[in-house]
A and B are shown apart, each in its own frame.
Chain A
Amino acid sequence: MMSSFLFRAMDARAGIFLAILGAAIILVPASNLLVPENSPFHVPTYAVTLMGKYLTYALLALAVDLVWGYCGILSLGHAAFFALGGYAMGMYLMRQIGTRGVYGDPILPDFMVFLNWQDLPWYWSGFDMFWFAAVMILLVPGALAFIFGWFAFRSRVTGVYLSIITQALTYALLLAFFRNDMGFGGNNGLTDFKDILGFDIQADTTRAGLFAASGLALVVCFLICRAVTRSKLGKVLVAVRDAESRTRFLGYRVEHYKLFVWTLSAMMAGIAGALYVPQVGIINPGEFAPANSIEVVIWVAVGGRGTLVGAVLGAVLVNFAKTWFTAALPDIWLFALGGLFVVVTLFLPKGIVGTISGGWTALRQRKISSDYEKGSDEPPSTPPQSPSAPANIIHCEPVARFPGTTKPQPAE
């Protein structure tokens, strides 16, 4: 049972993608650590860290694509789960500082000493142990998503209403984390980290290790997403995306399905945040900003909603462009991003990967048909074998509920 579950995760496209990712995981750190600095093949440490950051963004995009691309839940609040995972990691890193802080307190982080706190708040205990922090990285975003989803999906909040409350969720957390008495460092957040698992966080080797860890996390989560979306459960998710109320009439409890992928996705976002923080060296409430979540949706749209490779590609490409733009033409980045979204929505509604694979299928179809006309015996109805067609960005499904909001009936 388990082996067929994993086997489903593989096919040619996934294979190529994983091969590229695997090569990057090995070659980038190697050319940073092993190749001499004056060689053209040397990758400088700042670039390793930058690419590591892209990989964590790619993982976040993957998480968003899982719920949006496959289940039609347009989350505009996934940065909240990302940031919570990041804070959990940040708390661990803060407690590793020990007496090396400005105030030299062995237990209390600097900001608590500054606020004249005498004791560590109860919710900071345990974070000196990595395993505990690792559990919290999954548990905190997962639990929040579960509770949020439990109420939202049970009361059948869908479409734009759901998107709005996910924005409200991340905004509420933004405001909460800004407050000093929350105990998370207020608007300065958590920073000045020294080491992680005993390794100096600034060291080239640690940076390379974090890059590799981000790549590995992406590979594992990609395989999980792949196995989930190609299973029968994945087919149910696409059914929910395309015709939610029909799925209910078949006997599927739609809210349970949504809750499952929503929670899974939030945990992946948490992992992404946890890997992001040691690489950028800071986590502050700005990560909860509503605009961040919206940006993730744009990455996914650009790469191709409903294609896992597309989500990863979109995140990397858009962030690469962002890095370039914010250095060269900082003032126009937001306009460029907005323009990109408009262009993709109008001209590439399936995103880059969706458009390419759609074009490929059509080409193959045409070739098979013309071969058939020339007298080959293969019948021309070779199908697009995908378990589901890549989704369009714009997707409006009318909300069905009790009287007053039933699906519009066609004229009889």
Chain B
Amino acid sequence: MARASSLLYLDGVSVSFDGFKALNELSLTIAPGEMRAIIGPNGAGKTTMMDVITGKTRPDSGDVYFDGAVDLTGEDEASIAELGIGRKFQKPTVFESHTVWDNLELALKAPREPFATLFHVIANGEKKRIESLLDLIRLGNKRHELAANLSHGQKQWLEIGMLLAQDPKLLLVDEPAAGMTDAETAETADLLKDIAKDHSVVVVEHDMAFVRSLGVKVTVLHEGSVLAEGSLDHVSADERVVEVYLGR
């Protein structure tokens, strides 16, 4: 697909850490409104790819464009977030000494400059938005609980809620089901499908049952580049994919 009509466009992106190539000429395109699952063995470079997109890591070479025109390699984390890319981390990272409510309030789309936040008074619209997010992530009765006191699964959900609160165009979700029970995993898949109705989503996951339940196009990463792409059935029929997953 052409860069101009893409939402996210990676072309020939390489990143190396002390000579080790974590990303190797990676090319990937996400269309507006698309949901994409990324799979691949540990160390394939999935998290590094998200680091590059969100400005945490600068690529050694290659192009990264958002919305067809914005060169992300020249932007820092804060401006990339402002452009409309939200990220959920592999390890759930919420603000532990803030309440669930405050975590959502901080994430809520609103002016981000110091003087705007200094004089900010929470509006009714914002309260309603937080309430509806609390319902969605089922933490309504924990709203005043410190995030530190949540279970692992609840933290994952809170972080997804924070992601939604930002109202980004593109959500990058790194292993949302890690550490969850089967029931929680299924609920998370439903939640993500719901979100994908009006957002573009890139989700990294290991759990094949989870990926299958999403029912979207899958990209297989291996050693920092794309190994295969297509439906889950298509890629799982690919011999190289089987080899990578089952070991050599």
Contacts and interface: CB of A to CB of B under 8 A. Distances in A.
A236 B121 contact: no
B199 interface: no
Interface string A190-217: 0000000000000000000000000000
A406 B97 CA distance: 23
Given A232-B118, A383-B144, A248 B98 contact: no
Contacts of A409: 47, 90-91
A239 B93 contact: no
Contact of B106 (A1, A239, A254, A382): A239
- Interface SS of chain A: helix, strand, loop or mixed? loop
Contact of B146 (A239, A253, A384): A384
Given A250-B107, A383-B99, A410 B90 contact: yes
Contacts of A260: 114
Nearest to A1: B119
B162 interface: yes
A375 interface: no
A412 interface: yes
Nearest to A240: B95
A228 interface: yes
B134 interface: no
A324 interface: no
Given A1-B119, A410-B91, A251 B97 contact: no
A107 interface: no
Interface in B132-152: 141-142, 144-146, 148
Interface in A378-408: 381-385, 387-389, 391, 400, 402-404, 406
A239 B98 CA distance: 8
Contacts of A233: 114, 117-118, 120
A232 B90 contact: no
Contact of A254 (B18, B78, B98): B78
Contacts of A131: none
A179 interface: no
A248 B107 CA distance: 11
B113 A253 contact: yes
A403 B58 contact: yes
The 6 A-B pairs with the shortest beta carbon distances in the complex, nearest first, are A383-B144, A251-B81, A248-B77, A389-B97, A233-B117, A232-B120
